[in-house]
Structure 1
Amino acid sequence: MNDIIVGMGEALWDVLPEGKKLGGAPANFAYHVSQFGLNSRVVSAVGQDKLGAEILENFREKNLNCMIESVPYPTGTVQVELDAEGVPCYDIKEGVAWDNIPYTKALEGLARQTRAVCFGSLAQRSIVSRETIHQFLDAMPEGPDTLKIFDINLRQSFYTKEILCDSFSRCNILKINDEELVTVSRMFGYPGIDLKDKCWILLAKYNLKMLILTCGVNGSYVFTPGHISFVETPKVEVADTVGAGDSFTAAFTAAILKGRSVEEAHRLAVDTSAFVCTQQGAMPVFPETLIGRLS
């Protein structure tokens, strides 16, 4: 196994008030994993258009390896508006390239070399990309060291109970925030239960290795069978929170793959996410003080 780490799903432009920035959780995840020295790939699709060419050029400039198909659909865009606290609201265009990621022989070959993959619910809103993600997960090597991370990432109305249930069953690490947990609890019939108890239920029901719960300024938790890690959220000057969650997932994954404990991985993830919140956009360059913690 070549220990490749894959971010799979949407590749798009976040159109922010100050202009467009490269976005999409898979690209954010793969870029940040690569900053920690791991071999990462973005898997997605772009259109045969100027915006698609610009995404590929942007990846090249960032030295970000990718397996991106060009398909006859427009490249994805998202209108992002920030509220007074810098929290983003999204208007995600439909029927775009990343809804139509094809499953190819090359992609199957990549899956067989993949040690960890991060996928979400958004890229599964269309049947084409959803089936591609499922086939990729099925083709990955089996074993205790293989990580299948479902970073749930609920957006607008682009999810169903069936998609979530299926993804919970296919992953071995679930990452969810407190608002998403409330939504999931309503859908799955766990109302009126303490947030932590809901996490224990999900961990046990889907036989997960870990469940990561982020609660914004109220800290974050990592649940493993029989143990909880809690880390407070540092107080920082927030520029915007775009991509902060993806950087958390990337730092946590990189640390676990490099043999760090859950507590060490959790602390690095929190500090990385806090740094990203102080920067504009989803893909800032990390300082050596963060990168050096895994060297």
Structure 2
Amino acid sequence: MKTKRNYVVGIGEALWDVLPEGKKLGGAPANFAYHVSQFGLQSRVVSAIGEDKLGNEILDNFQGKGLYTLIEKVEYPTGTVQVQLDNEGVPCYDIKENVAWDNIPFTDKLKQLAQKTCAVCYGSLAQRNVVSRETINAFLDAIPDGKGLYKIFDINLRQGFYTKEIICNSMQRCNILKINDEELVTVSRMFGYPGIDLQDKCWILLAKYKLEMLILTCGVNGSYVFTPGSVSFVETPKVEVADTVGAGDSFTAAFVSAILKGKPVNEAHQLAVNVSAYVCTQNGAMPELPENLINRVL
């Protein structure tokens, strides 16, 4: 009897974004999993918290949002990030080190979850510490191979918490790469092809790492989804921005949800653009999505 694979997992950092107006639940994997759950898919957040008040508040918040978790308590403080916003609402982060999500343990429960996972999203930030890096790699390795299974590397470069080795390894393990234009410039310099235009860089990465898809977001200048032999481009809608925290995670969540529900790439791409534009109009990373967006994957 085959194991049913129907879980969509965000693995990595779960933390508090401390914004000017107060603290809000954050961390790319949690943002991703929350938005996936809004589209009616079974999502799980995998992370670690401290045995402290902030950690308990994270669990309470997830429970209040109806979000399921596999979060271990460890002997490190729960993670926090000081977030300052510029005049355009674009965030600047001060990410505290040696915290709980740097030390996610690989457990039997986590291995069992991997065997029932149809899509997982991971980034480079949670791999800054060897413990969580080895857990993420072990989780990816425990997902059985098969058609329609997605390993999404949402690169998420932050504060120099990455190395060429981590980026290469993560690209080799994924079949969907999500990257923004600034990250693409950084990665291109790292890999030694800086003088090529952005689209050509994407084609090179798609071929080199045998990716099924490469998603490139360029802020107000639109976004692209590259697949072998074709490219989708969608303009970014003009909206009144409250802040951009979590907008990229909502894009990934909407895109993956639509693909898992059998939508073609161009429809999934258009939905992802509309969802992330909506999130930009709201404060914080986890607003409730309107029904007209959610209904587009049904």
Question: How high is the TM-score relative to the length of structure 1?
Answer: 1.00
Q: Give the Cα separation in 1 of the matches to 2:295 and 2:175.
A: 28
The aligned amino acid for 1:120 is G
Q: What is the CA deviation profile of residues 236-284 of structure 1, one whole-angstrom value per residue up to 9, with x for unaligned ones?
A: 0000000000000000000000000000000000000000000000000
Give 1:294 deviation, angstroms: 1.0
Q: How does 1:26-65 map to 2 (within 5 A)?
A: 26-65=29-68
Q: Give, in whole Å, the separation in 1 of the partners of 2:144 and 2:65.
A: 28
Give 1:118-133 correspondences, 5 Å limit: 118-133=121-136
**Count of equivalent residues:** 295
The residue correspondences of 1:182-193 to structure 2 (distance < 5 A) are: 182-193=185-196
Q: Where does structure 1 differ by over 2 angstroms across 4 or more consecutive aligned residues?
A: none
Matched, 1:208 2:211: yes
1:6 partner letter? V
Please tell me the residue identity of whatever aligns with 1:66: T
The answer to which of 138-147 and 224-233 deviates more is 138-147
Match of 1:137 in 2: 140
| Distance in 1 (alpha carbons) for counterparts of 2:176 and 2:140 | 13
Match of 1:251 in 2: 254
Q: What is the deviation of 1:144?
A: 1.8
Identity of aligned residues (%): 77
Q: Work out the CA distance in 2 between the residues paired with 1:166 and 1:229.
A: 27
Q: Distance in 1 between matches of 2:98 and 2:181?
A: 29
State the partner residue of 1:84. 87
Residue 71 of structure 2: aligned partner: 68
1:291 & 1:33 partners in 2: Cα distance?
Answer: 10
The whole-number CA distance in structure 2 between the counterparts of 1:95 and 1:53 is 19
Distance in 1 (CA, whole Å) between partners of 2:289 and 2:46 is 23
What value does the CA root-mean-square deviation take over the aligned residues? Answer: 0.4
CA contact 1:115–1:141 (8 Å) conserved in 2: no
- Rounded to whole Å, the distance in 1 between the matches of 2:5 and 2:211 is 24
Q: Contact (CA 8 Å) 1:86, 1:240: kept in 2 or not?
A: yes
- Report what 1:293 is aligned to: 296
Match of 2:159 in 1: 156
Instruction: Name the residue aligned to 1:241.
Output: 244
CA distance in structure 1 between the partners assigned to 2:116 and 2:168 by the alignment: 26
Q: Which residue of 2 aligns with 1:268?
A: 271
Equivalent residue, structure 2, for 1:170: 173
Once the 2 structures are TM-superposed, how far is the Cα of residue 120 of structure 1 from its aligned partner? Answer: 0.1
TM-fit CA distance, 1:2: 3.4
How far, CA to CA, are the matches of 1:177 and 1:191 in structure 2? 15
Give the equivalent residue in structure 1 for 2:287: 284
Distance in 2, Cα, partners of 1:54 & 1:31? 16
In 1, the alpha carbon distance for the partners of 2:119 and 2:111 equals 14
- Residue 199 in structure 1 maps to residue 202 in structure 2: yes
- In structure 2, the residue matched to 1:111 is 114
Partners of 1:274 and 1:141 in 2: how far apart? 34
After superposition, the C-alpha distances for 1:15-71 in whole angstroms (9 at most, x for unaligned) are: 000000000000000000000000000000000000000000000000000000000
Partner Cα distance (2:59, 2:253) in 1: 21
- Provide the rounded CA distance (Å) in 2 between the counterparts of 1:146 and 1:220: 23
1:198-222 CA-to-partner distances (Å, cap 9, x unmatched) read 0000000000000000000000000
Report SS of the residue matched to 1:102.
coil
CA distance in 2, matches of 1:148, 1:71: 26
* TM-score normalized by the length of structure 2: 0.99
Alignment-mate amino acid for residue 17 of structure 2: D
Q: Give yes or no for contact 1:185–1:198 (8 Å, CA) kept in 2.
A: yes
> Unpaired segments of 5 or more residues in structure 1?
none
SS of the aligned residue for 1:42 comes to strand
Q: Secondary structure in 1 aligned to 2:263?
A: coil
